[in-house]
């Protein structure tokens, strides 16, 4: 064998990701026959890692999967700091700057195939009504749709993120321990629509932990991208229901009406 | 030469005759009591010395209609209305007017059209040409272009006669054909189809109009938005600091968050930091911009908000003022004044006013500034502006209010922006940022005459310097709750129609009036809505506006409650909001639930058609192509509606009769 599993693991680690387990690397190498060039192999290893659930046993090297301290989620500790780097994956994301109901209304409009731009109601492309668009008069609408067409209907929900938006993530270390991550300083790549469920990140040593919540800033965390396809799909499908439920819970009158 | 001039209304005819003749015209009666013939001599550049007969029509003199074979509701079936023959006819009450034109044309070599300069006016002009040619097939035709009846303007118009624009005529003809066919087809289909449900549906005409339904759709959409709204609590942090006896209130950069625990964490960190640091102190000049020149849509929005009248009332008052020569043509999309206009001359005419005369005088003594230029220009009419001074004594109450607004708006346009000084102070407290904002108004300028805008000093801020550290006097975590949006006001509705291409600036107010007359929607005074939580879609049922025209208009529709919610508030000055009736909700829900791409309650189909009318005017397409295409679209919708008619019936049972799951 020309490539050693150790070599592959070291290279992946050198690129900032956690070091995979030797056994995982070995089976990856063996599954590729004839062996591809080394850079291609590294790329494959990285993309598989980013698409995997990092709590899976035997995936990561035990030494690179240091977890959060056991008491991290304690709400009694007003302020402490993370003593070491921790690799994590994102399980959930909320935009705390928008009411749930506002988000429900946006999602329902998109389900109806509409989006509003200011006061104008725009019909979103469904993929099969292109030929219904006549060439006269609808040019404006077509142009407006151009931008959203790329990402389809889902992207339409992801309007330009505001500078003062505050998101809260649920993140999970490689041992399965979950903790909230609150955006203390705006991190541009975090937003609903661009942050995927299962996305991977590194939380750096020194990060503040307040009342069981990690306070994230651009300088104390690094996002690698990636997603776990089934989690993402499930999250998207259930989002509307979750938001509706959460909005209703926060409204005592609605509860009384039930 | 003998010349025939024809205006759109008698008042314009009389005004133009008086200007051209120098008040030496003779008046003759015609077969119609509202229309006179004015005769005088005039020396045309075009035709030389001529004897002129100036007359008028009274709006449209032709109407599009189906033939006798399609007059019956029951037969042939409504879908035939998409293809059956239609023709222009002269209604009985307009016959004498058409006859007058034909008989006058017999003695004349040329015809000059003086109808209002917009699409409808162009179409009426073409009907006048047709009527004249019945008397004299070889009559020569010219068109006068004018936008108000100020003498110098009229003299200029008569020296530059042009041609009728048949592209605009074609666009109106397309609109008339579409409205006729779709209106008849869907109205008959809905009325006959829903009649078996009984109750209020058994005797009423369920009228359809391709603008009315999307307009109703907006009202119903908002109604459900309000009704289904779920309030949610949110939390925020407020910081204030008192220094030198002055208190500055700082607001949180994050504004508010919908999670209490997160705000507690951030708030605690502010408190733990104890002291805040001043990061930015900025003082810079600021302005409040004077308004843009007045368009019809803007005028209607302001009128419904500030002048206590409906859009339609405001338009008819403005039209009276135009007919009397006090203001320019009130149907315009233009929000920029032509560079060549003598604006100062128009300002000068306002000096006699004892209310804004001094202000006008100050403008002429050096304060005058060119108005801002908006981005719209319909190339036909200038923004709405006063043409001459109207003494308050010659106007009735409503006219006075509208005229005053038009004048103040115009003088504001010719003024300088209001100027002030804005102060921004930004602090960092813990990791959180806060901001305080203050304004001091230095020069009021246009605000002195434009009493509808408010801009005043905010509370004074104490002096801070960058880097200064202080312990805030107070830092509070606050809690609030989101509130449902209000129902649509007329200004909201006009703005929605405008943004979504429903109707034109000239017709929006009519559509809004129509959906009220049809009892699809009722207007209720804001703040007079009583127990909002329990309101169903029945408000105002039975509050039938008088004068429903048309067939089968049995009054006293079913439904409960009704009337009381609105009756008491009629005539009060508060802003009106639109709430759909049960029937209105049922119709929109019914069509929406049929789930086809082009629900009649959505604006998309009509918007496309309005754009196509514009395309006809710009010669990018033809009337025949547009009519064919658009009718095919509506006919498709019609056949789907027939197929899924049970969905609409179910919605009616649910909303009109309170029968669920039937």
Distance from the Cα of residue B1 to its chain's centroid: 43
* Phi, psi dihedral angles at B121 (to 5 degrees): -60, -40
Based on the fold, state whether residues A89 and A204 are members of the same structural domain.
Answer: yes
Is A70 inside a domain boundary?
Answer: no
Q: How far is B472 from chain A (nearest CA, A)?
A: 21
CATH superfamily entry for domain B233-290+418-481: Topoisomerase I, domain 3 (2.70.20.10)
Q: Considering the domain boundaries, does residue A75 fall inside one?
A: no
The answer to whether residue A26 sits within a structural domain is yes
* Structural domain ending residue among the three candidates A143, A162, A181: A162
Interface check for A137 against chain B (CB to CB < 8 A): the answer is: yes
Q: Round the average pLDDT of chain A to a whole number and report it.
A: 83
Residues of B in contact with A129 (CB under 8 A): 597
Q: What residue spans in chain B does CATH classification 2.70.20.10 cover?
A: 233-290+418-481
Question: What residues contact B32, with CB distance under 8 A and at least 6 apart?
Answer: B58, B96, B97, B100
Q: Are residues A48 and A137 in the same domain?
A: no
How far apart CA B484 and CA B502 sit, in angstroms, is 26
Residues A51 and A85 in one domain: no
B236–chain A nearest CA distance, Å? 11
Domain check: are A157 and A49 in the same one? no
Domain B296-413 coded CATH 1.10.290.10:
yes
Q: Report residue B326: phi and psi, to 5°.
A: -85, -35
Which residues on adjacent β-strands are paired with residue A53?
none
| CB contact at 8 A, A36 and A25 | no
Lowest mean pLDDT among A122-136, B253-267, B397-411: A122-136
Mark whether A188 and A208 lie in a shared domain: yes
Phi, psi of B113 (to 5 degrees): -90, 125
Q: Which of residues 588-617 of B touch A (CB under 8 A)?
A: 597, 602-604, 607-612, 614-615
CATH number, domain B170-228+487-657? 1.10.460.10
Torsion of Cα atoms, B16 then B17 then B19 then B22, to 10°:
180
Domain membership flag for residue A71: no
Domain-embedded: residue A122: yes
Q: Which range among A55-64, B490-499, B541-550 has the greatest average pLDDT?
A: B490-499
C-alpha B95/C-alpha B611 separation (Å) is: 34
Whether A243 and A169 map to the same domain: the answer is yes
DSSP SS3 for B178: helix
Contact B258 A136 (CB under 8 A): no
A78-82, A119-123, B307-311, B449-453: least confident range: A119-123
Please check whether residues A125 and A251 belong to one and the same domain.
Answer: no
Q: Cβ–Cβ of A215/B265 closer than 8 Å? A: yes
* CB-based contacts of B571, cutoff 8 Å, min separation 6: none
Report if residue A74 sits inside a domain: no
Q: Are B315 and B508 in contact (CB under 8 A)?
A: no
pTM attached to this predicted model: 0.83
Q: ipTM value, please give it.
A: 0.86
Q: Residue B198 contacts by C-beta under 8 Å, 6 or more apart in sequence? A: none
Query: Where in chain B is CATH 1.10.290.10?
Result: 296-413
Judged against a pLDDT cut of 50, whether residue A155 lies above it is answered with no
Residue B625 has pLDDT above 70, yes or no: yes
Q: Residue A68 falls within a domain, yes or no? A: no
Please write down the HEC assignment for all residues of B22-66.
CCCCEEEECCCCCCEEEEEEEEECCCEEEEEEEEECCCCCCEEEE
Q: Do A250 and B482 touch (CB under 8 A)?
A: no
- Whether A20 is covered by a domain: the verdict is yes
CB–CB contact B268 A210 (8 Å): yes
Q: Which residues have a Cβ under 8 Å from the Cβ of B647 and sit 6 or more positions away? A: B590, B593, B594
What would the two tokens of residue B150 be? 């100020």
Q: Could you tell me if A120 and A207 lie in one domain?
A: no
Residues A213, A206: Cα–Cα separation, whole Å? 14
CATH number, domain with residue A190: 2.40.50.770
In tens, the pLDDT along B520-532 reads 999 998 765 543 3
| Total structural domains within chain A | 3
Q: Which region among A93-97, B276-280, B527-531, B622-626 has the lowest average model confidence (pLDDT)?
A: B527-531
- Chain B interface includes A123 (CB < 8 A): yes
DSSP for A2-63, please give it.
Answer: -S-HHHHHHHHHHTTSPPBPHHHHHHHHHHSSSPPPHHHHHHHHHHHHHTS-TTSTTTB-GG
- H or E element, residue A225: strand A221-225
Residues A177 and A220 in one domain: yes
pLDDT category, A116, cuts 50, 70, 90?
confident
Residue A246: domain span: 80-100+165-257
Q: Which residue of A has its CA nearest to B495?
A: A119
User: Tell me, what's the pLDDT at B530?
Assistant: 43
Judge whether B593 and B651 are in contact, CB under 8 Å: yes
In angstroms, the CA B265 to CA B582 distance is: 48
3-class state of residue A92 by DSSP? strand
Q: Are residues A179 and A119 in the same domain?
A: no
Q: Helix (H, G, I), strand (E, B), or coil: what is residue B51?
A: strand
Taking each helix axis from N to C terminus, what angle separates B166-194 and B604-617, rounded to the nearest 10 degrees? 160
Contact A168 B608 (CB under 8 A): no
Segment B372-378 shows an average pLDDT of 91
Residue labelled with tokens 């439904």 = B559
Give me the pLDDT at residue A92, please: 97
B640 exposure class (CB count in 10 Å sphere: 0-12, 13-18, 19+)? middle
Domain range B2-164, CATH class: alpha beta
Do both A136 and A230 map to the same domain?
no
Q: Are B388 and B396 in contact (CB under 8 A)?
A: no
Q: From edge to edge, which strands make up the β-sheet containing B110-114?
A: B26-29, B36-44, B48-56, B2-7, B110-114, B140-143
Same domain (yes/no): A52, A14 = yes
Which residues of chain B does A119 touch, with a Cβ-Cβ cutoff of 8 Å? 495-496, 498-500
């Amino acid at each position: 064998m020309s490539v050693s599993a150790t070599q592959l693991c070291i290279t992946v680690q050198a690129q900032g990701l956690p070091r995979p387990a030797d056994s995982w690397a070995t089976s990856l190498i063996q599954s590729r026959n004839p062996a591809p060039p080394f850079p291609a192999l590294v790329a494959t290893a990285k993309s598989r890692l980013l698409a995997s659930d990092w709590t899976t046993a035997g995936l990561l090297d035990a030494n690179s999967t240091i977890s959060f301290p056991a008491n991290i989620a304690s709400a009694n500790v007003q302020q402490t700091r993370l003593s070491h780097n921790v690799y994590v994956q994102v399980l959930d994301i909320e935009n705390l700057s928008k009411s749930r109901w506002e988000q429900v209304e946006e999602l329902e409009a998109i389900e109806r195939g509409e989006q509003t731009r200011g006061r104008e109601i725009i019909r979103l492309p469904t993929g099969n009504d292109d030929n219904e668009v006549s060439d006269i008069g609808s040019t404006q609408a077509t142009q407006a749709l151009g931008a959203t067409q790329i990402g389809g209907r889902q992207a339409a929900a992801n309007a330009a993120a505001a500078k003062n938006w505050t998101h809260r993530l649920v993140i999970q270390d490689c041992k399965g321990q979950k903790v909230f991550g609150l955006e203390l300083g705006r991190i541009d790549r975090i937003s609903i629509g661009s942050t995927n469920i299962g996305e991977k990140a590194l939380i750096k040593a020194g990060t503040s932990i307040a009342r069981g919540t990690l306070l994230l800033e651009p300088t104390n965390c690094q996002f690698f991208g990636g997603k776990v396809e089934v989690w993402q799909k499930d999250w998207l499908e259930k989002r509307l229901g979750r938001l509706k439920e959460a909005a209703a819970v926060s409204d005592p009158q609605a509860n009384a009406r039930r | 030469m003998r010349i025939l001039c024809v205006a759109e209304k008698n008042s314009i005819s009389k005004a133009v005759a008086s200007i051209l003749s120098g008040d030496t015209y003779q008046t003759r009666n015609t077969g119609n009591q509202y229309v006179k013939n004015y005769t005088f001599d005039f020396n045309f550049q075009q035709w030389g010395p001529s004897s002129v007969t100036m007359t008028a029509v009274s709006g449209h003199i032709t109407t599009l209609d189906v033939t006798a074979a399609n007059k019956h509701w029951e037969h042939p079936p409504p879908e035939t209305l998409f293809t059956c023959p239609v023709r222009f006819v002269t209604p009985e009450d307009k016959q004498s007017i058409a006859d007058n034109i034909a008989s006058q044309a017999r003695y004349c070599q040329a015809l000059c059209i003086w109808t209002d300069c917009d699409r409808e006016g162009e179409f009426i002009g073409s009907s006048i040409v047709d009527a004249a040619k019945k008397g004299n097939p070889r009559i020569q035709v010219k068109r006068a272009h004018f936008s108000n009846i100020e003498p110098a303007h009229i003299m200029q118009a008569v020296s530059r006669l042009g041609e009728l624009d048949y592209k605009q005529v074609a666009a109106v003809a397309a609109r008339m054909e579409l409205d006729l066919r779709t209106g008849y087809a869907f109205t008959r289909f809905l009325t006959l189809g829903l009649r078996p449900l009984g109750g209020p549906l058994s005797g009423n005409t369920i009228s359809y109009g391709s603008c009315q339904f999307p307009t109703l759709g907006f009202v119903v959409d908002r109604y459900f938005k309000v009704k289904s709204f779920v309030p949610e609590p949110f939390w925020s942090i407020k910081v204030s600091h008192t220094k030198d006896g002055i208190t500055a209130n700082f607001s949180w950069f994050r504004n508010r968050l919908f999670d209490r625990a997160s705000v507690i964490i951030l708030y605690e960190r502010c408190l733990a930091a104890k002291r805040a640091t001043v990061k930015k102190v900025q003082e810079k000049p600021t302005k409040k911009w004077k308004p843009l020149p007045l368009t019809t849509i803007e005028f209607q929005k302001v009128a419904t908000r500030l002048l206590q009248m409906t859009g339609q009332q405001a338009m008819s008052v403005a039209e009276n003022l135009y007919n009397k020569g006090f203001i320019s043509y009130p149907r315009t999309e233009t929000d920029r004044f032509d560079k060549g206009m003598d604006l100062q001359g128009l300002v000068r005419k306002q000096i006699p006013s004892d209310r804004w005369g001094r202000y006008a005088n100050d403008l002429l003594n050096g304060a005058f500034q060119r108005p801002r230029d908006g981005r719209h220009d319909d190339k036909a009419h200038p923004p709405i502006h006063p043409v001459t001074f109207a003494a308050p004594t010659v106007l009735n109450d409503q006219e006075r209010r509208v005229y005053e607004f038009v004048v103040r708006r115009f003088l504001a346009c010719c003024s300088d922006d209001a100027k002030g000084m804005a102060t921004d102070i930004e602090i960092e407290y813990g990791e959180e940022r806060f901001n305080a904002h203050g304004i001091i108004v230095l020069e009021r300028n246009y605000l002195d005459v434009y009493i509808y805008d408010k801009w005043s000093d905010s509370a004074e801020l104490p002096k801070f310097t960058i880097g200064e550290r202080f312990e805030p006097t107070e830092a509070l975590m606050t809690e609030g709750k989101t509130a449902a949006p209000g129902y649509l006001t007329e200004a909201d509705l006009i703005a929605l129609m405008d943004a979504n291409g429903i109707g034109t600036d000239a017709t929006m107010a009519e559509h809004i009036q129509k959906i009220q007359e049809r009892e699809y929607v009722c207007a209720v005074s804001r703040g007079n809505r009583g127990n909002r939580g329990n309101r169903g879609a029945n408000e105002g049922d039975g509050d039938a506006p008088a004068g429903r025209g048309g067939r089968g208009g049995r009054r006293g529709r079913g439904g409960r409650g009704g009337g009381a919610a609105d009756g008491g508030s009629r005539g009060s000055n508060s802003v009106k909001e639109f709430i759909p009736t049960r029937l209105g909700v049922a119709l929109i829900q019914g069509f929406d639930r049929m789930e086809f791409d082009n629900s009649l309650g959505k604006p998309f189909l009509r918007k496309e058609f309005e754009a196509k009318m514009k395309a006809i005017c710009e010669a990018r397409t033809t009337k025949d192509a547009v009519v064919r295409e658009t009718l095919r679209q509506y006919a498709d919708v019609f056949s789907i509606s027939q197929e899924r008619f049970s969905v609409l019936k179910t919605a009616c049972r649910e909303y009109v009769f309170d029968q669920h799951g039937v």
